[in-house]
A and B are shown apart, each in its own frame.
Chain A
Amino acid sequence: HFPPQPQNEYIELHTKRHGRRLDYEEKKRKREGRMPHIMAEKAKKLRGIRAKLYNKKRHAEKIQMKKTIKMHEEKKTKQKAEDRDSKYGNPNYLLERENQIRAKVLSNTIKQKRKEKAGKWDVPLPKVKGVSEAEVFKVVKSGKTKRKGWKRMVTKVTFVGDGFTRKPAKFERFIRPMGLRFKKANVTHPELKASFFLPILGVKKNPSSSMYTSLGVITKGTVIEVNISELGLVTSAGKVVWGKYAQVTNNPENDGCINAVLLV
């Protein structure tokens, strides 16, 4: 005769019928009491990448613990609130907001004037480090004896339009490899904080050089035009908005994708 097979909730059933071991609670309590020692020993013994990961995890846990402790303690302690206005000696509840400090006003106006002078757009990345030609282009030797070095291969991510056809290989000066051609970008709406994967319509301006703009090279800070018909925005006149500008915020050749922020 085979022994009866364990079925369904046999463990709980056994506990229900026969109860637990007599020292179950004690064992459990002691085991939990030992945990801090074990964790400390683990933290001491680990090495290498595992140690880093473990320490990171523990650090996060400790921060959480400290926060909860502080939260509990807030009820007990009383915080001494700063109830005097530092400059004028007025208490908090008598502070007047019109007393703006004159210096601050001045600096604000100066900054405004400067901006107008520069004619800068209001873009998320106003200043971008320029990219040199040596970085963007790689010399490709051609010719019978491979001495002619007039061809260049683009090493950054590019955008070529839909109807793009290459020039005949003999006359092609700039080679834009297919592997580095991208059609879509991850565009984030700054207010909605939502990201969409939208098709690129074209490269508007590359801040480093106009040559890059004409070639369609996309680097960090490039302004591109994206197709936002997916979002379903409508103008006040009732027309559907289907194209907007976005600025690239990452280095696409290092990440393998184009991340951009919509310019509203």
Chain B
Amino acid sequence: MAHVVKHITVVPTYKDFVDIVLSKTQRKTPTVIHKHYKISRIRDFYMRKVKFTQQTFHDKLSLIISEFPIVANLHPFYATLMNVLYNTDHYKLALGGINKARQLIDDCAKDHVKLLKYGDSLYRCKCLKRAALGRMVTIMKGQAKNLLYLEEIRQHINRLPSIDPNTRTLLITGFPNVGKSSFINKISRADVEVQPYAFTTKSLYVGHTDYKYLRWQVIDTPGILDHAIEERNSIEMQAVAALIHIRAVVLYIVDISEQCGHTLEEQLALYKNIKPSFSNRPIVIVINKIDVVKPDELPEDKSKVIEEFQAEGEPVLEMSTLTEDGVMNVKTEACEKLLAYRVNQKMKTNKVVGVANRLHVAMPKKRDNKERPPCIPAKIMKKKNAMEVDEPTRKLEKDIEQELGDDYILDLRKTWQLANNDDRYDTIPEIWQGKNVADFIDPDIMKKLEDLEKEEEARDKAHYYSMSESEEDEETQEMRKTARKIREKRKLITLESGEKRRVEKSRMPRPTKRSRSVAQLEADLGSMGVEIPTDADSHYVRAKTRSSSRPPLKKARDQSEAGRSRSQSRTPRDQSGLRDKKMVTKVKKIAKKAQKERNHMAKKGEGDRVILNMKPKHLFSGKRKSGKTDRR
């Protein structure tokens, strides 16, 4: 019923309810008041408390009342179901009680607020507030039982299956233990309990199945016994409610083997009894458990009953839920019947008339007597035939894999077709006689290459690729002229602006020779007695320039230092200024450590100092409670 009834909030017990409201009052209203304040302030303080409590009670009770469904507004199926399960009178009384309590609380608050106006001392106001809150709590105490009852109902409603009374439905009825739940377990994914004792299914269950690309609801009901409606218990009444209110195709299941404990005559009698309740609906009579007793093997009197069933005028089908014999057939038959019935119903209503008038199927007129059947390729025909005959086309790898289980090896080469089939599993070399095998896949490849080159030469000669200017027309020539002019002009403009921006100040001359050099450093330190190893990796060695006057040295690739396959002309930025590998790793580690903190605060980088919320509420509000206070 989850799609019919919206979410219902949990109904707390009386104690919890009162606790919640009173503690809310204590938290959300001011708590400090002194005797020496002005009397109007004192009165206002206590009136606020009374009103706040009243409002909170009112809101919570209103929520309960509004969320529980109104039985009269539901579909009659749900209304009947709720009556059967929860007794509508009791339900209404409970909700009425809650409503009354709400009203009483409002009145109580009103009275006490009126009295508070005459309060002339803090003590008197406080007593009046205490009396008001006490009265409200006592009113709620009277509702304790109702609250418990409503909570139970809420829990039960949430577990009811969601049955749509208007969609295509198959309804399964019959005596207890005939095989209704087994049937629904077979055709849908519902998992209803199946046990040998009667009344295993105690309430309605819903399953879904597909037929003709449509979704069908299947409703399993508890079994019904043959007695008058007044004597029926609440379990049977649920089944009756479903029978009466849901327009569905009814599958009446008969147990031919009489294992359910009731004879065929009894089942026939029950059928006749309940037939009037689903008078105008399609019915299918299903004989179940034919694996135990075959209908042909029945004795005389039993066959007579079967004949009487058939005489009712409804289709009688046979099935066995144990061997799954005939189950699909039953489903198909029932669905077809319902579809026809629904289409009929729709035709009867006025809505169809408007549409039917406008519908027209146009058949093309034949222009000659030639037969033009649909064109189906031969392979598809073969496949179709194979499907009908139900033979496997070829053994799939999947099947082989399932057969072999753990021993299975995927062998893609077994379908190769070579000149000599024994060569299938030979390894294919990649390099042969100094040449790539992949280049010679095609036996004519050399010839093709020559042809291609010849073609290229021919094209070159024919000036295929050069743009001859004489071939261009006047327009394009004009365009080219203007384009050239534009380019020249642009260059001039950039030069001019560069000139303008340049500031001609006196410049310091750069010495041609650097005053400090590595050689000098070495010499100085050497004279002092310190030996420093200078190799290309030292952090004080000048990086090699990339000027065009110096062509880059091509170094032979050596196996030293993994990761040095790039050019060694310049140290990468993250290693410049660092002595050795150990230092590099340490520096990296420190950098990451600093970054971690910032990442944790969702900062973009070290320069990100944005504070999104300058005044978070939790730091600027609240009462001075025991965490902060050590004296009062």
A residues lining the B interface (CB < 8 Å): 1-10, 13, 16, 47-50, 53, 138, 155, 177, 179-180, 251, 253-257
Contacts and interface: CB of A to CB of B under 8 A. Distances in A.
Interface stretch (B113-121, B263-271, B372-380): B113-121
Given A48-B626, A177-B118, A5 B159 contact: no
Contacts of A138: 120
A155 B118 contact: yes
B127 interface: yes
B44 interface: no
B162 A254 contact: no
A257 to B, nearest CB: 7
A50 B20 CA distance: 11
Contacts of A9: 159
Contacts, number: 66
A254 B26 CA distance: 21
Interface in B142-184: 159-162
A50 B188 CA distance: 53
Contact of B625 (A16, A47, A180): A47
B17 to A, nearest CB: 15
Nearest to A47: B626
A257 B19 CA distance: 25
Contacts of A10: 159
A53 B19 CA distance: 10
B206 A255 contact: no
B160 A8 contact: yes
A254 B127 contact: yes
B111 A256 contact: yes
B161 A8 contact: yes
Interface in B97-146: 111-112, 114-115, 117-118, 120, 123-124, 127-128, 131-132
Interface stretch (B189-197, B249-257, B432-440, B529-537): B189-197
Given A5-B162, A53-B19, 15 more contacts: A1-B189, A4-B188, A6-B159, A7-B160, A13-B191, A47-B625, A49-B26, A50-B23, A177-B118, A179-B118, A253-B115, A253-B124, A254-B127, A256-B111, A256-B115
A189 to B, nearest CB: 20
Nearest to A13: B193
A254 B124 contact: yes
8 contacts: A3-B189, A7-B159, A7-B205, A8-B203, A179-B117, A254-B127, A256-B112, A256-B132
B208 interface: yes
B282 interface: no
B157 to A, nearest CB: 12
Interface residues of B, number: 33
B223 interface: no
A188 to B, nearest CB: 16
A49 B159 CA distance: 39
Contacts of B205: 7-8
A253 B118 CA distance: 9
A85 B625 CA distance: 60
A4 B189 contact: yes
B189 A7 contact: no
Contacts of B189: 1, 3-4
Contacts of A255: 127-128, 131
A254 B125 CA distance: 7
B118 A257 contact: no
A251 B189 CA distance: 70
Contacts of B162: 5
Given A155-B118, A255-B127, A8 B159 contact: yes
A54 B108 CA distance: 28
Nearest to B132: A256
Nearest to A49: B26
Given A7-B205, A47-B625, A155-B120, A257 B131 contact: yes
A253 to B, nearest CB: 6
Given A2-B208, A8-B159, A256 B131 contact: yes
Contacts of B203: 8
Contacts of B626: 47-48
Interface string B509-540: 00000000000000000000000000000000
Interface in B379-408: none
B127 A7 contact: no
Nearest to A251: B127
Nearest to A48: B626
A192 B23 CA distance: 37
B625 A4 contact: no
A256 to B, nearest CB: 5
A155 B118 CA distance: 7
B191 A4 contact: yes
A53 B128 CA distance: 22
